[in-house]
Homo-oligomer: A and B are copies of this chain.
Amino acid sequence: MNIGEAARASGLPAKTLRYYEAIGLVVPAHRQPNGYRDYSETDVRRLRFVQRARSLGFSVAECRELLALYADRGRTSAEVRRIALARIAAIERKLRELEGMRRALLHLVERCSGDSRPDCPILDDLAGEDDDQGAA
């Protein structure tokens, strides 16, 4: 199977397939006589596996681990679970960070009139104004 077909079958761009080969993540076993990459059904399964894992937020390094476990009959589900839990923890850290930003930005936007005047509490806050005008 040509790289184009494998790309369509896996839902990944051909560029990505070449990249995955370059980093040794999914390497098609053979080349056709004309030098074209030759992807097998198994290769495509691995590519789809990676595509799904990536869409769940796993890094390429984690995909490599997961693929290894997938291929390892002696694996334990505890190993897989550990990786997934680590990913969840990382996602939750990021969620908290983004939620903090969102809260702060919403607070600022709320107080900004957004009209034609130059006065802007958003810029004031970024400038680190230390006014205590609300103390009355």
Q: A70 vs B120: C-alpha distance in the bound complex, in angstroms? A: 9
Count of identical protomers in the assembly: 2
Smallest distance from the beta carbon of A96 to chain B beta carbons, Å?
Answer: 10
B70 and A126 contacting across the interface, CB-CB below 8 Å: yes
Query: In the complex where A52-B128, A126-B49, A126-B53 touch, is A91 in contact with B101 (Cβ < 8 A)?
Result: yes
Chain B's nearest CB lies how many Å from the CB of A55? 8
Provide the bound-state CA to CA distance between A48 and B40, in Å: 55
**CA–CA, A55 and B75, complex, Å:** 41
With CB as the reference atom, state the residue of chain B lying closest to A57.
B101
Q: In the complex the two chains form, what is the Cα distance from A74 to B116 in whole Å?
A: 9
CA distance A11 to B115 in the complex (A): 32
Q: List 5 A-B contacts (CB under 8 A).
A: A56-B104, A76-B118, A80-B123, A84-B108, A84-B122
